[in-house]
Structure 1
Amino acid sequence: MAFRDMFRRFQQECETSDHHKENTLQTHYYKASVDHVFQSVESLIKANGYTIQTVSKEHGEIMAGKGKVFLVSTILVLRPFEVAVDFKLTTDKGSLTGAYPKLRGEIEEFYKMLDKDLTLVKR
């Protein structure tokens, strides 16, 4: 285990991206309309106990909070019926065992739930 990887577990944010080192945290692409993806992400957020604070379809973002955890969901239309979804979770709550593994696990669960509801596009 690399020295920096050892300290990653104590990071208080976890974010997905196109070329993330961890495969489970790479952006997911779905074959669906942007409205359907927005509905699915909003339902997912509410089902996981988050309170939606802001929805901006123009900017492709949904912001929500739950306790000391803040969530930003980014929904980006690449072409008709191909939509990318990214998540960023942050917390200001410390943990002796580290916050990163819990945040990563929550994002992985979000993607599993979306994958069941939407058609995943392999890239």
Structure 2
Amino acid sequence: MGLLQNIQRFFSTHTETSENHPISELRSHYYKVTNKKAIETVQEVLKRTEGFEVTSVSEERGEISVNVLKPKKALLIVTIISVRPLETAVDFSVSTDTPLPTDFGYSRKLISTVYNKLDREMTFVGTGIHSS
């Protein structure tokens, strides 16, 4: 990863996961579970997390919207996609509400924290397993 990319990542208030992300901890996580069960489990985990408020759930689109109220305010969008009948991918998009040009890695830590909770609740298959 180049110096410019590291600087851009530092001066950012937004972090997303993806299949081919250059940072391994920000690659899509795959679980051995149905799409419906994944949506239910993610929803339960987020509701149990202190400072999280689930604002909307769209099962048809596979999206869950969450307001993170503490320790810092942020908007978390969870995307759940069924790849195969028993293989589901979970991705995140986090935008931190801060007047500063950086969130000092908060959005990245938030993603790691939620992934760790999901890994304990569902059967984890791997990260970025369908990347080229």
TM (norm. structure 2) is 0.84
> How far apart, CA to CA, are the structure 1 residues paired with 2:11 and 2:94?
14
Instruction: Tell me, yes or no, if structure 1 residue 89 matches structure 2 residue 94.
Output: yes
**Cα root mean square deviation, aligned:** 1.7
Counterpart among 90, 106, 111 of residue 107 in structure 1 = 111
- Segments of 5+ residues of structure 1 without an aligned counterpart are none
Instruction: Tell me, yes or no, if structure 1 residue 6 matches structure 2 residue 11.
Output: no
> How far apart, CA to CA, are the structure 2 residues paired with 1:106 and 1:92?
13
One-letter amino acid of the counterpart of residue 117, structure 1: E
In the TM superposition, residue 41 of structure 1 has moved relative to its aligned partner by: 0.8
In the TM superposition, residue 66 of structure 1 has moved relative to its aligned partner by: 2.1
One-letter amino acid of the counterpart of residue 29, structure 2: H
State the 4+ residue runs in structure 1 displaced beyond 4 angstroms: none
For residue 32 of structure 1, give the secondary structure of its aligned residue in structure 2. coil
Q: 1:8 touches 1:100 (CA, 8 Å); kept in 2?
A: no
In the TM superposition, residue 79 of structure 1 has moved relative to its aligned partner by: 1.1
> How far apart, CA to CA, are the structure 1 residues paired with 2:99 and 2:8?
13
Identity %: 33
In the TM superposition, residue 94 of structure 1 has moved relative to its aligned partner by: 3.2
> How far apart, CA to CA, are the structure 1 residues paired with 2:42 and 2:16?
16
Note closer, same or farther for the CA distance 1:65–1:37 as it changes in structure 2 (3 Å cut). same
Q: 1:13 touches 1:100 (CA, 8 Å); kept in 2?
A: no
In the TM superposition, residue 70 of structure 1 has moved relative to its aligned partner by: 0.5
One-letter amino acid of the counterpart of residue 57, structure 1: E
> Partner of 1:35 in structure 2?
36
TM (norm. structure 1) is 0.90
> Partner of 1:64 in structure 2?
66
> How far apart, CA to CA, are the structure 2 residues paired with 1:102 and 1:78?
29
1:5-50: CA deviations, max 9, x gaps?
1232121111000000100000001001222211221122122221
- Segments of 5+ residues of structure 2 without an aligned counterpart are none
Q: 1:87 touches 1:107 (CA, 8 Å); kept in 2?
A: yes
Counterpart among 75, 80, 92 of residue 75 in structure 1 = 80
One-letter amino acid of the counterpart of residue 63, structure 1: S
> How far apart, CA to CA, are the structure 2 residues paired with 1:102 and 1:113?
17
> How far apart, CA to CA, are the structure 1 residues paired with 2:53 and 2:4?
36
